[in-house]
Amino acid sequence: MDPQFYAFLSSLWGVFNSNFWAALAGAFAGAVAASRFAARQEVRDDLERKINEINAAISIAYSACEAYITHKEGLIDRLANAYRSEMAAYSEAKQAQQSEGRDISLSLMESTVLVVQCSALQELVFRIPSSAVIIRLVSILAHRNSVLNSCMAQRNELIRTMNLMDQSDRLALYFGLARKDGFIDKTYPYLIDAVSELSSDCIFFSWLICELLSAEGHKMRDDKKWLPSVVPVGFQEPVAAGLIPNPRDYTGWHNLAPRWKELAIPLYDKYSVPVSGN
């Protein structure tokens, strides 16, 4: 064998058996391992972000439901009940030919517009991302909330208008009766019915969104206990008190999508199970 060629092979063999190649192989293996670890960490970070955003969305939906319930109990139900009482009293007075002398108290009848962070809830739901059902429900809640606030604002304007009217026109506008010129404006009685129905819609949909988000969070965390816990939600008291409409006989918007009713019934029924005292 040619001595020079032999020397070349010997040098080449020495290079292949040097620490350089061992270090290079080790570096490559380390890079692969680091890449896999980074990918796993990225997945973990993404799941943790989603759980945190689900928890934030649950908190907003829960707070919204509480706010709607308080608003309905403390204001809207009282307005509706007072209106029915006034209507009954007016009918009695009319039969007794006393309607012209009957006055209507307008004190403390104006109301503040309810502020609920529907836009923040929509943003979170789109970022999670959530199921199509939740996205649709949040959009409907935002719409019903907007219409509710619009009706409340319109009602306040009518109250201010009534304060500037004489007794006859005030009665006509308040009860939706014919005025002296024969014109009938039923806006006010319509608004009373509308705000009552809309507030029930907002309670129902914010509750259902909260329950579905909670279920989604628990499903995501099912086999990943290292993730943050899902924010606990409980509607035992408002369900027992009848403050959250029963999906079986609720006449709200779920009639347009029977699947919502199917989703809501088991979530509602779980609060009907007696709680053990043990």
Kindly report which listed range (15-24, 76-85, 160-169, 223-232) carries the lowest average pLDDT score. 15-24
Name the pLDDT band for 141 (thresholds 50, 70, 90): very high
CA–CA gap between residue 174 and residue 187 (Å, rounded): 9
pLDDT of residue 142: 92
> In one letter, which amino acid is 97?
Q
pLDDT of residue 225: 77
- Per the CB < 8 A criterion, the answer to whether 245 and 200 are in contact is yes
Name the pLDDT band for 277 (thresholds 50, 70, 90): very low
pLDDT of residue 4: 56
| Tens digits of residue pLDDT in 183-212 | 889 999 999 999 999 999 999 999 999 999
Which residues, including other chains, have CB under 8 Å from residue 6's CB and lie 6 or more apart?
A: none
Q: In the structure encoding, which two tokens stand for residue 150, read together?
A: 């619009």
Kindly report which listed range (15-29, 193-207, 262-276) carries the lowest average pLDDT score. 15-29
Distances (CA, A) of 91 to 85, 152, 179, 209: 10, 26, 16, 42
Checking if the pLDDT of 273 tops 80, the result is no
CA–CA gap between residue 213 and residue 58 (Å, rounded): 6
Checking if the pLDDT of 154 tops 60, the result is yes
Residue 201: name the closest of 137, 121, 268 by CA.
Answer: 137
Kindly report which listed range (5-9, 49-53, 117-121) carries the lowest average pLDDT score. 5-9
Burial 42-61 (b: 16+ CB within 10 A, else e): eeeeebeebbebbbbbbbbb
Distances (CA, A) of 180 to 12, 69, 166, 167, 169: 113, 40, 12, 12, 8
**What share of the chain has pLDDT > 70, as a percent?**
74
CB-count burial class (<10 Å; 0-12, 13-18, 19+) for 1: exposed
In terms of pLDDT, which residue wins out, 257 or 229?
229
What is the pLDDT averaged over residues 100-105?
Answer: 54
What is the pLDDT averaged over residues 30-36?
Answer: 53
Q: What is the mean pLDDT of the chain?
A: 79
> In one letter, which amino acid is 222?
D
Which residues, including other chains, have CB under 8 Å from residue 73's CB and lie 6 or more apart?
A: 243
